[in-house]
């Protein structure tokens, strides 16, 4: 089968995250029809995660191509670029206070970014409640998306933007994510300026982190007077059940963590003891480095589906840059196959380089800092 022109092709994006929605938006700006399929039954079905810092040279670049950069700056929080490095006693080791005009990587809540992108799409673009189970059909296309409810859809190009445990990835690659040996436990704090003033003062308007070589805490202010704390440890992936605990056992987990962090100061331990509601278990996974596959003119990947890495501030930015470059390649190519080839020639080497740099980045989150040495961090998401 000859690869169709992008304007004539049936293009299906799997996953309504920042990458998938950015790709859809830019395609529509160039007059190319697209459908996004997402497993969630509706846009508010689940929490979208914490806050993202969108960089000027990738995430913001993609939003500029999407025609949304001005609205982004209206919603973003430049003050969120503040970062504090602490030691386990709570002593300040380093402190970055952003300049008044600093806009290289302002923060925006994932939910707000998603709403911005969703609101920019043509009505009916996203098909909610469509959980992809399999991508079938020959490599040259067309492909058939098989959904969990027994329905299906035929496409000329499937774009896998469905994250770490992508259902699209097996159509081009046998690779599966492996556990990095580092686990996160996420804790939420609401109405922090009133209910948790000590934590609010410790964290400031951005993020605060401390580590002792084996474990770490990272607290990050979100919009809406909300702070998320990530308890970071080097542990087996099943450490919770192996210790006879569950994520529903908040008191049991809190007692276990207080023992593990027993040498830390009371001020720092408030990040463990004062959370509102249960913890969320988030073990960190990564794809092999490099992750490459044999090119198919009918399937490609972007974001975590293509290059899952530790959460060090690049994931969403690379996903949105991937989305932008793929959409522009489709807008500027004679055939879908030509566009996929042009996109992957750029994306795969770039992703491999970033993945090599961050391959052991999860371990670096635990390093004890005796001097100021602020690191980039972005909260994980499933």
- What pLDDT does residue 369 have? 63
Residue 244, in any domain of the structure: yes
CATH of the domain at 159: 3.50.50.60
d(CA 63, CA 226): 25
Is 53 labelled as part of a ligand binding site? yes
Rounded to an integer, the average pLDDT of 279-308 is: 96
110 is in an annotated binding site: yes
Mean pLDDT of the chain: 93
Residue 247: give its domain's CATH number.
3.30.9.30
Q: What is the residue range of 207's domain? A: 179-286
Query: Is 310 part of a structural domain of the chain?
Result: yes
Give me the numbers of helices (H) and strands (E) for the chain, helices first please.
13, 17
What is the mean pLDDT of the segment spanning 272-290? Answer: 93
In this structure, the answer to whether residues 147 and 33 fall within a common structural domain is yes
pLDDT in tens, 342-378: 999 999 999 999 999 887 777 778 887 654 444 555 5
CA distance 169 to 282: 21
Average confidence (pLDDT) over 244-249: 96
Tell me which of 190-194, 241-245, 359-363 is least confident. Answer: 359-363
For residues 267 and 292, membership in a common domain is answered with no
Length of the chain: 382
Confidence of residue 46 (pLDDT cuts 50, 70, 90): confident
Helices (H), the chain: 18-29, 59-65, 69-75, 110-120, 192-195, 197-203, 239-242, 250-260, 266-273, 304-307, 315-332, 336-358, 361-364
- pTM, two decimal places: 0.94
Residue 188's closest CA among 254, 269, 274, 283?
274
Task: Tell whether the model's pLDDT for residue 48 goes beyond 80.
Answer: no
Sheet with strand 11-14: strands edge to edge: 126-127, 35-37, 11-14, 157-160, 299-301
In a domain, residue 367? The reply is no
Tally the domains of the chain. 2
pLDDT tens string 302-323? 999 999 988 777 889 999 999 9
Model pLDDT, residue 382: 42
Residue 153 pLDDT greater than 60, yes or no: yes
pLDDT band for position 178 (50/70/90)?
very high
On the 0-12 / 13-18 / 19+ scale of CB atoms within 10 A, 205 is middle
Of 28-37, 56-65, 305-314, least confident by mean pLDDT is: 305-314
Q: What is the pLDDT of residue 45?
A: 76
Domain membership flag for residue 89 = no
Indicate whether 52 and 118 sit together in one domain.
yes
Tokens (6 digits) for 105: 């990587």
Examine the domain organization and report whether 238 and 353 are in the same domain. no
């Amino acid at each position: 089968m000859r690869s169709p022109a992008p304007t004539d092709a049936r293009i299906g994006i799997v996953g309504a995250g920042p990458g998938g929605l950015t790709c859809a938006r830019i395609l529509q700006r160039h007059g190319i029809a697209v459908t996004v399929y997402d497993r969630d039954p509706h846009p508010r079905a689940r929490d979208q995660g914490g806050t993202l810092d969108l960089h000027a040279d990738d995430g913001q670049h993609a939003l500029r191509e999407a025609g949304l950069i001005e609205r982004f700056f209206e919603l973003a929080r430049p003050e969120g670029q503040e970062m504090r490095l602490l030691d386990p006693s709570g002593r300040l080791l380093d402190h970055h206070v952003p300049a008044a005009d600093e806009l290289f990587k302002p923060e925006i809540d994932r939910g707000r970014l998603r709403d911005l992108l969703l609101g920019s799409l043509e009505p009916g673009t996203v098909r909610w409640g469509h959980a992809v189970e399999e991508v079938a059909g020959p490599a040259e296309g067309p492909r058939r998306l098989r959904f969990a409810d027994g329905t299906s859809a035929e496409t000329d190009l499937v774009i896998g933007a469905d994250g770490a445990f992508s259902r699209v990835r097996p159509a081009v690659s046998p690779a599966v994510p492996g556990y990095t040996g580092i686990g996160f436990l996420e804790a939420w704090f609401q109405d922090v300026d009133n209910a948790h003033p000590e934590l609010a003062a410790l964290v400031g308007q951005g993020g605060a982190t401390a580590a002792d070589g084996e474990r770490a805490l990272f607290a990050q202010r979100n919009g809406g007077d909300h702070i998320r704390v990530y308890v970071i440890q080097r542990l087996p992936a099943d450490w919770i059940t192996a210790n006879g605990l569950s994520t529903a056992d908040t008191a049991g987990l809190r007692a276990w963590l207080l023992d593990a962090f027993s040498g830390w100061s009371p001020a720092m331990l408030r990040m463990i003891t004062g959370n509102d509601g249960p913890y969320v278990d988030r073990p960190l996974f990564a794809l092999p480095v490099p992750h490459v596959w044999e090119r198919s003119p009918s399937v490609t990947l972007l974001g975590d589906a293509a290059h899952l890495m530790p959460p060090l501030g690049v994931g969403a930015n690379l996903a949105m840059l991937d989305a932008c470059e793929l959409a522009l390649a489709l807008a500027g190519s004679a055939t879908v196959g030509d566009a996929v080839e042009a996109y992957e020639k750029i994306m795969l080497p770039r992703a491999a380089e970033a993945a090599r740099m961050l391959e052991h980045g999860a371990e670096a989150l635990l390093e004890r800092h005796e001097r100021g040495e602020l690191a980039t961090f972005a909260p994980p998401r499933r």
